[in-house]
């Protein structure tokens, strides 16, 4: 994992622990889990101190007070929630927004097209190819006289490429360079490595191997997927392309997928924070088709069909346990 990704992961975990430690009813088991996390490395302890110092700062507290005063009804509706929640919850939301905006500034500057949380967008490119951006995605166009080049800055995109052998169609991401051979394909940028899924035709996938052992390009054909894992390119393998590209139709299709993976996917579309407070649900499997345009409804459906409970502390913070 790259240093910036490790820092982002630690920051997210630290924010979650700061929120949980506000709970006067924290169990001994949860307290031990926090101590184990805090003592895992000096970086964990340092990040916790940084987040705690921001949390306790007067500016953030003032902003949180303002947020509550601006919309007190969002807290009054939850009569079963303890009184200590409004300020910590508002502060958590504000902190998450500040961090997200700060880290996303460079992407916003570079992007020719981008999407926000839960948004999908279809664009016709100058060559009349079509690209569909998934939630929280961004691309930069680098077309010139000889090459149709696109840089996927973040997120996920489905490319339907117009055939033009005289002008190669190339998609660059953090880990891969994918060249279309008359095709439709998906590229998804993940912290652990890119994913390339071929819907139709074929693509040539090459690794960006800066400072690493070189990888020969791979040819992936219709119905196959290639994953990059820690800078190394795996072998193509067959997938259900209809399910893999269902997001372009506003659907999440899963078949025996671990519950935690489903929640990770929903987090990409949910305009807020989803927190899991127990690891007892890690082994549960989910099968179904869900509407990504209404992630809150998906969470409700999951709580109706699985042995889990949900508490909504605000309109933007959900806890599953």
Q: pLDDT, tens digit, for every residue of 174-193?
A: 889 999 987 899 999 988 88
Closest CA relative to residue 96, chosen from 64, 66, 71? 64
* Contact between 207 and 260 (Cβ < 8 Å): no
* Residues 121 and 64 grouped into a single domain: no
Give the domain range for residue 306.
250-320
Tokens of 186: 């998906």
* Residues 119 and 230 grouped into a single domain: yes
* Residues 87 and 167 grouped into a single domain: no
CATH number at residue 190: 2.60.120.1440
* Residues 197 and 299 grouped into a single domain: no
3-state DSSP helix/strand/coil % of the chain, to nearest 5? 35, 30, 35
Q: Is 77 within a domain? A: yes
- pTM, whole model, 2 decimals? 0.68
* Residues 101 and 129 grouped into a single domain: no
* Residues 103 and 215 grouped into a single domain: no
* Residues 175 and 227 grouped into a single domain: yes
* Residues 167 and 277 grouped into a single domain: no
Number of domains making up the chain: 3
Distance CA 321, CA 313 (A): 13
Q: Which long-range contacts link 275-279 to residues 24+ away (Cβ below 8 Å)? A: 275/16, 275/19, 275/317, 275/318, 275/319, 275/320, 276/320, 276/321, 277/20, 277/319, 277/320, 277/321, 278/321
Q: Is 311 within a domain? A: yes
Between strands 317-320 and 273-276, the pairing is parallel
- Give the model's pLDDT for residue 98: 53
Q: Is 174 within a domain? A: yes
Distance CA 115, CA 135 (A): 6
Tokens of 176: 């891969």
Domain stop point among 42, 76, 110: 110
Domain stop point among 51, 81, 110: 110
pLDDT digits (tens, 9 = 90+) for 17-71: 876 776 556 678 888 888 898 898 888 888 787 777 655 555 444 444 444 444 4
- Give the model's pLDDT for residue 189: 93
Q: Is 45 within a domain? A: yes
Domain stop point among 110, 132, 161: 110
- Give the model's pLDDT for residue 215: 66
Q: Is 158 within a domain? A: yes
* Residues 132 and 219 grouped into a single domain: yes
- Give the model's pLDDT for residue 22: 64
Tokens of 175: 């880990």
Q: Is 80 within a domain? A: yes
* Residues 149 and 85 grouped into a single domain: no
Q: Is 245 within a domain? A: no
Distance CA 46, CA 23 (A): 22
Cross-strand pairs, 133: 121, 157
Distance CA 43, CA 41 (A): 5
For the chain, residues with pLDDT lower than 70 are: 1-8, 19, 22-26, 53-106, 209-215, 278-280, 282, 314
Distance CA 118, CA 137 (A): 10
Which H helix or E strand runs over 60?
helix 58-70
* Residues 182 and 75 grouped into a single domain: no
* Residues 273 and 155 grouped into a single domain: no
Q: Is 244 within a domain? A: no
């Amino acid at each position: 994992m790259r240093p910036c990704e490790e820092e982002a992961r630690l920051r997210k975990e630290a924010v979650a622990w700061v929120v949980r430690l506000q709970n006067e009813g924290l169990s001994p088991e949860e307290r031990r889990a926090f101590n184990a996390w805090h003592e895992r490395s000096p970086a964990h302890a340092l990040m916790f101190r940084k987040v705690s110092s921001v949390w306790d700062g007067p500016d953030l507290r003032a902003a949180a007070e303002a947020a509550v005063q601006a919309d007190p009804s969002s807290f009054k509706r939850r009569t079963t929630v303890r009184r200590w929640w409004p300020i910590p919850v508002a502060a958590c939301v504000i902190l998450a927004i500040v961090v997200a905006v700060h880290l996303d500034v460079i992407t916003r500057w570079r992007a020719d097209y981008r999407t926000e949380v839960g948004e999908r967008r279809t664009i016709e490119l100058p060559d009349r190819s079509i690209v569909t951006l998934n939630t929280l995605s961004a691309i930069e166009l680098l077309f010139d006289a000889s090459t149709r080049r696109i840089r996927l800055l973040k997120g996920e995109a489905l490319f339907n490429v117009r055939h033009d052998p005289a002008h190669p169609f190339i998609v660059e991401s953090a880990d891969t360079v994918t060249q279309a051979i008359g095709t439709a394909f998906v590229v998804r940028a993940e912290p652990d490595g890119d994913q390339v899924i071929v819907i139709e035709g074929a693509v040539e996938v090459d690794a960006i191997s800066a400072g690493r052992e070189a990888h020969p390009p791979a040819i992936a054909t219709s119905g196959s997927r290639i994953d990059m894992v820690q800078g190394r390119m795996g072998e193509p393998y067959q997938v259900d392309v209809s399910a893999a590209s269902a997001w372009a139709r506003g659907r999440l299709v899963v078949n025996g997928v671990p519950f935690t993976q489903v929640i990770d996917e929903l987090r990409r579309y949910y305009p807020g924070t989803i927190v899991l407070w127990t690891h007892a649900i890690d082994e549960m499997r989910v099968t179904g088709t869900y509407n990504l345009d209404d992630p809150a409804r998906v969470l409700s459906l999951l709580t109706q069909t699985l042995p889990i409970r949900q508490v909504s502390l605000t309109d933007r913070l959900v806890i599953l346990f």
